[in-house]
Structure 1
């Protein structure tokens, strides 16, 4: 069933190359997931320099952007994810 409470979060982080902000976002996301959602998430990092067509397809207007595809509704968080509380609220993770 799709509405299982233990369904993993499906997260996609859109970055542009190895910029300091992109690297910070990756590090912050890894830390937040490890601390607050161990084993309960799938993360894909998409480099829009290598796959620019995805920016249009997924309506990515700023970099870095974290997209939570599951559970719906889709949530987007723009920035380097350094504000952990904001990230957790958007991801609907109980702290």
Structure 2
């Protein structure tokens, strides 16, 4: 069975960095994880208390919840290589 990826993207409002991060994430997922992922977007301007659970210190931050290990990637996700390696989609 193929792995399912549960991804959580923390943003703070509809800033250009937040929008870029989400667009980059969707693009990578469609290219490499088609049908194997879910993306939950959490806007910390609306739900600031949710930052504590994943210990979010910077925005935007992507958290890979499943499959383990949990991984975090900070930034607008424009470095595709870094994101794919960080999510264990691609090996170095």
| TM-score bucket (shorter structure) | over 0.9
User: Whole-Å Cα distance in 2 between the matches of residues 42 and 28 of structure 1?
Assistant: 14
**In the TM superposition, what is the alpha-carbon distance from 1:56 to its structure 2 partner?**
1.6
Note the aligned Cα RMSD (angstroms): 1.2
The structure 1 segments of at least 4 consecutive aligned residues displaced by more than 4 Å after TM superposition are none
Q: Find out whether 1:13 has 2:9 as its counterpart.
A: yes
Give, in whole Å, the separation in 1 of the partners of 2:47 and 2:54. Answer: 12
**1:87 aligned to which of 83, 87, 92:** 83
Length-normalised TM-score, structure 2? 0.94
Match of 1:41 in 2: 37
TM-score (normalised: structure 1): 0.91
- SS, match of residue 57 in structure 1: coil
What are the residue-to-residue correspondences of 1:59-78 with 2, within 5 Å?
Answer: 59-78=55-74
Structure 2: gaps of 5 or more residues: none
1:51 CA drift (Å): 0.3
Residue 22 of structure 2 corresponds to 26
Unaligned regions of 5+ residues in structure 1, if any?
none
Picking from 47, 50, 59, the partner of 1:51 is 47
